[in-house]
Amino acid sequence: MKNPKQLFLLLLTICTLAIPFAALADDEFTSSVKRYPYRLPDMSVIGSPTWCKVGPKDTMLDIARRYGLGYNEVDLLYPRMDAWVPPDGKRIAVPTFWVLPPSQHQQLLINVAELRLYFFDKASSTVQTYPIGIGDEGWETPLGTFSIVEKRPNPTWYIPASLQAEYGMASMPPGPDNPLGDFMMKFSAGAYGVHGTSMPWGVGRLVSHGCVRCYPEHISLLYPQVAVGTKLEIIYEPLKFGQRNNQIFVEAHPDVYKRFPDYVQYAMDKLSGYPLAKNVDRNRFLMAIKLQNGVPTDVTRFTSEEDSPRLVELMQ
């Protein structure tokens, strides 16, 4: 098997089956609504880095889920760390901060390229954010502006005709094997929806047939808040610019759907159209797009070395 993604999913399945059920109980992972204040355009970096100490039984997938991240977010930052057996007792930085993606409606927004969802509340100028799993290659999550048209708790999965032979059925009732999880929010793009999952470790991966998967503990928070009729923007922005405390940040992600033949040219074009481009340090910017580690990076150009704040290195 030469495809590394397929190999990862195979190992994931084997390891999941090998771990005692009690260790995988969703009860271990809980979450509460976190609302981050924002103001556009000058306060568009939300959250702050967190430090954690790797426990004796932790995997990187556990750590990601515990801190509200998808697997991709820890894998990009620590590509050489063993995801299954990270060093016990090691203190690591957890990237719990993000640059807000551009939004026309500031309601519900998904940035496919970073595998993350944002739920805005313009009335309070706050935003929530959650990691997601997205469509695999050949089953790409659709882009565009849609709206939530239907909400279903304990949904039945009406299996697409092209997959019915694989699953041996036309529909799958609610239950632990149903890939839709406990809640489904269908949007106006055909059969697609934002829903939970029966395989939480697929969040932060390209694993679905186009739908958007959330951790069970996150969809249970979102579902009661998102009304039918809510605007849903689905965009593809691997590179985002943001501001906080008079500093400029860039957050660069890999081109997961391979839409840009020349990533550097794409990034330079984005920079040339950025209103504060003259205040961006080109060397720092180029380093950020080379790393593509998904971490907001300060790229502010300072007039002298004395004016430059001390940079905290988050990479391993």
b/e sequence 274-301, b meaning 16+ C-beta within 10 Å: beebeebbeebbeebbebbbbbbbbbbb
Tokens of 169: 């059925």
Contact predicate 284/299, CB 8 Å? yes
Show the tokens assigned to 135: 């469509």
Residue 108's DSSP bridge partners are 119, 232
How far is Cα 49 from Cα 296, in angstroms, rounded to an integer?
A: 10
In the chain, count of helices (H) and strands (E)? 7, 20
298 SS3 class: strand
Catalytic residue annotation: 195, 211
Give the relative orientation of helices 263-272 and 282-291 as an angle to the nearest 10 degrees.
140
